[in-house]
Amino acid sequence: MAPYEGYCVKCREKRQFDGQEVELANGRRAAQGICPSCGTKMNRMLAKG
């Protein structure tokens, strides 16, 4: 797992999270992980590459 920075909707703050890179149904890449503070699932869209 790699560290990413994303926005937690529940905490309403940017947070660092450990996530894994996945490919969404539409072909876009994203990082998905868990917020270390509240445990909510976080997503971060990644650049095409």
The domain locations on the chain are: 2-45
pLDDT at residue number 7: 94
Q: What is the pLDDT of residues 1-49, one digit of tens each?
A: 889 999 999 999 999 999 999 999 999 999 999 999 999 999 999 998 6
Q: What is the model's pTM?
A: 0.81
Q: Which residues contact 13 (CB under 8 A, 6 or more apart)?
A: 7
CA–CA distance, 7 with 25 (Å, rounded to integer): 21
pLDDT at residue number 1: 82
pLDDT at residue number 39: 95
pLDDT at residue number 33: 96
